[in-house]
Structure 1
């Protein structure tokens, strides 16, 4: 039984005249009669009493009409709801991002987006890259902003948005604090304050040192960057992190690495999964937003 058949039934039930109903619906009377007969066959009861050319809705038809009105009303509501979802600049985007981007970048991004797309709604998730990967695999989020993530379950596409430099941070009282640049090998014997495993930055930092043949002396693994900065500020060790918001509030010195260390941050999504129009629109906005930032930086 299809929505169109229910609509046909409602018109016939309202007009109680097959010929006139067929004219209103712009179909032939035999086709309309067959549609009504098919409904009656499925339900197993007649819906109309027929007297010559006249038809009258019987008690089964009246009961069925009540249900049909509810179904058709709900169908129209759903259509309107999805029309709003797919309308340009509207709909909900489920968006995840790593912790370090939640301190400044993502709030500014969402605030700017809300001005351009006032009818776009966001469901935001802040998590480690590992947890973002799981949510992307499960289909719980449409997009995520993080370092490149790879899955053994689904194919993920990542488009790079920007690159940020990593710095060695040391306590202000450390002998190395007098320096402006440093090589990674110069801190190989230092106590190292790391980010916990499961974070893509931890994996990247480990790879930087591994490529230099350095085995880190990790004394503590923190949940997030400000804890790392706090431990370094207290003289508990050194670390390698991005220039996070508020880093200058700690008693640490930021040293450029020679050769420089960078991490790439991009927007990722599941390749073969449906991406709602709002998510597609927001994804393109992300690309344009960070390209404009890059252009402004280059000009200055």
Structure 2
């Protein structure tokens, strides 16, 4: 960039004497630099009148691009400085849609109370997509579930569990099972299911549970939002596997019956191991890692008119 700096100074002064003083070089050295540059681009850049110079059309064209390049370079330098400053850097945080109403706002709010000048670059998506972002270096951390055991066990990803949720079968309030204390996923083998799209965390859990029970669920609709599934269950379109402990999916006309299966939905943070993250991202990851794990399954309210419990 030094070549651009001396050229832009000469463009500004259009005077060999003034620029040689500004740059701290001799006039002869500056003259040689200009001659070499003009030889490289294949055209004179100034019209000469003794020591005075007048920028010509070729010089103006090169000066515009030189200024653009200098500006881009300066922005790059500033971005590096931001990445190396834990108090003013940017954290690239990816998260599942279902965490956007409680976990993500809570974490970002708590962190920014202590580090108000840190910025966040946020991306929502399916769990598998977010894991791919972290592996590709496109995100610093991601909040996902369930735990991506294969990548964690191989050492590619780090994992910090932040919460667990027991799973339930969501049924319409008018369903014959409404009011039961628990249900096995195997009992739902003949039911219509509404489910998340492939790659989403809750869909991974549904596929895992039904495969263990020896059946493939009959899907009548696939969505990107848990709230949509809850609404469709309340409308009687089908049943769904949903997590307990999320008040945003508690709606009238639907009941959540805890599953007998012990499988839980793990929610946690993943990051790429064996790389040096930006300092702001590293500080945020350390902040999240120090938070205690929570269990979102106790005392969960149900909606709709409950039927008498089966004896």
Same fold (TM over 0.5): yes
| Distance in 1 (alpha carbons) for counterparts of 2:192 and 2:45 | 85
State how far apart, in whole Å, the 1-side matches of 2:295 and 2:272 are: 31
* Cross-structure match for 2:36: 38
What's the counterpart of residue 162 of structure 1? 162
Equivalences, count: 283
The residue aligned with 1:289 is 288
Report how far residue 215 of structure 1 moved: 3.2
CA contact (8 A) 1:161 1:291 kept: no
* Deviations, residues 238-266 of structure 1 (Å, cap 9, x unaligned): 32111222333334333333332223344
RMSD of aligned Cα (Å): 4.5
Q: Which residue of 2 aligns with 1:247?
A: 249
In the TM superposition, residue 137 of structure 1 has moved relative to its aligned partner by 8.9
Structure 1 residue 104 corresponds to structure 2 residue 102: yes
Q: Deviations over 1:159-215 (max 9, x none)?
A: 344343222233445454444333322333344332233434213311121022233
Q: Distance in 2 between matches of 1:60 and 1:234?
A: 74
**1:224 matched to 2:225:** yes
Q: TM-score, normalised by structure 2?
A: 0.66
Q: C-alpha distance in 2, partners of 1:272/1:45?
A: 52
In the alignment, the residues of structure 1 paired with residue 24 and residue 213 of structure 2 have an alpha-carbon distance, to the nearest angstrom, of 78
Change (3 A) 1:45 1:228: closer
Alignment partner, residue 201 of structure 1: 202
1:128 to 110, 113, 126: 126
CA distance in 1, matches of 2:104, 2:3: 49
* Structure with more helix by fraction: 1
Note if contact 2:8-2:66 (Cα within 8 Å) is conserved in structure 1: no
Specify whether residues 168 and 202 from structure 1 end up closer, same or farther in structure 2 by C-alpha distance, changes over 3 A only: same
Deviation at 1:227, TM superposition (A): 2.5
Shift of 1:229: 1.8
Give CA deviations for 1:103-136 in whole Å, capped at 9, x if unaligned: 3222333333443443344443333346657877
Whether the 8 Å CA contact 1:98–1:129 is kept in 2: the answer is yes
In terms of mean alpha carbon deviation, does 63-72 or 106-115 score higher? Answer: 63-72
Q: Distance in 1 between matches of 2:120 and 2:283?
A: 15
Counterpart-to-counterpart distance in 2, 1:25 and 1:5: 11
Q: Assess if the C-alpha contact under 8 Å between 1:267 and 1:283 holds in 2.
A: no
